[in-house]
Amino acid sequence: MHLRSPKSEPSGQSLSSNFPPLIDRAHARKQDVVEAEGLRWQIEKKDNEIMQLKTIVRSKNEDLSTLRLRLDLADKKVDTAGKADDVRSQKLQEKVADLMNDMARQKTDYERALDLLQRDLDLLEKENSELKSKSRSISKKVLLASFTQSASQPGSPTVSPASVAVHPLMEKELEQTKNNLKNANRTIWRMQGKQTKDLLNEMPELHMPNVVCGVYGLKEKRRDEDDVEIEHLRKEILNADMESKSLRLNVIPTHPKEQAARETIMANHNARCEDLKYRCAKLWKKCRPGEPVPVKLDINQNKPSVDEKSIDAILAKWEKDLKNAPQRPVDAN
């Protein structure tokens, strides 16, 4: 605030004013007070704005601190999740490595066992062949000895004790060898089945396609439309035949409404049959042009007619029978 002194006033203004200097100074003082009040009001307004800005800055700082805290928590969660994922992946890798080692060890054990079984099988086959050759030679010797003894003593046939003792032993050894061979074959088959099952389990899952491919699929795609239409007509003809049989077996109703409904059903059935005949004849001309249509496919141009006189005669007879029929006595209770 700047106060004007009377010395600073221009000399022209003091000379031109009609008021005394004291009143002029009072007016100037009042004007300065008004300006001071206006400046004070502006200062207070600025102070209020500064306070509002400070509160806004404080709230922004609080929001910023909250966001920083959330960011720190999110970073910690990401770090912990990454560490957990690393630990989990490491455990899974170790498990995979252990499974691979176990599989390799089992494979080596299986190959070793298979080699041993194959070796035992070869030895057993060799022993079996040797035993077969020995049994043949021994049987030949026994037969020759028996023949010679029978030739020398035809009246008293005898059996050598050596042949009696050798045959049970050879049969026992041969039976044991066969059993060992069967057991070895069963073990080999079991090991082969286990290996095949392991290989099938290691193979990826097969996904069957939705569309059939190959010769069968192409044949179905190239199927003639006439065959499809013939199949549809065949099914419709079978249904119409079954419906006609059921209509023939049904009892003719006596009520007029039921008779009208039955006549409507029969008319619809006959119209459907004529439509089937027309479609069959049209398909015949399309598939075999120039050939005569079979007799069963001839279309009847005349509509089915009903003999009304015979129906009226039957109804009149039934009414007469009903009138002449004795009535039952009505119970009073």
First to last CA, the chain: 129
Q: Reply yes or no on whether the pLDDT at 245 is more than 90.
A: no
Question: Are residues 179 and 255 both part of a single domain?
Answer: no
Question: Are residues 120 and 235 both part of a single domain?
Answer: no
Question: Are residues 36 and 128 both part of a single domain?
Answer: yes
Q: Render pLDDT for 92-151 as a digit per residue (tens, 0 to 9).
A: 999 999 999 988 888 888 888 888 888 888 888 888 888 878 777 776 666 666 656 555
Structural domain that includes position 191: 22-145+170-201
Q: Reply yes or no on whether the pLDDT at 274 is more than 70.
A: yes
Question: Are residues 249 and 136 both part of a single domain?
Answer: no
* pLDDT of the residue at 44: 92
Side chain identity, residue 281: A
* pLDDT of the residue at 146: 60
Q: Render pLDDT for 203-236 as a digit per residue (tens, 0 to 9).
A: 887 776 665 555 555 555 545 677 788 888 888 8
Question: Are residues 183 and 255 both part of a single domain?
Answer: no
Q: Render pLDDT for 75-98 as a digit per residue (tens, 0 to 9).
A: 988 888 888 888 888 889 999 999
Nearest to 301 by CA among 329, 327, 278: 278
Question: Are residues 95 and 192 both part of a single domain?
Answer: yes
What string of DSSP letters covers 191-223?
HHHHHHHHHHHHSPPP---SS--SHHHHHHHT-
245 in a structural domain = yes
Question: Are residues 68 and 28 both part of a single domain?
Answer: yes
317 in a structural domain = no
* pLDDT of the residue at 282: 84
Question: Are residues 180 and 108 both part of a single domain?
Answer: yes
Question: Are residues 195 and 284 both part of a single domain?
Answer: no
* pLDDT of the residue at 6: 43
Number of domains in the chain: 2
Q: Give the mean pLDDT of 61-68.
A: 92
* pLDDT of the residue at 243: 85
Q: How many Å apart are CA 265 and CA 244, to the nearest integer?
A: 10
Question: Are residues 110 and 224 both part of a single domain?
Answer: no
* pLDDT of the residue at 139: 63
Q: Reply yes or no on whether the pLDDT at 68 is more than 80.
A: yes
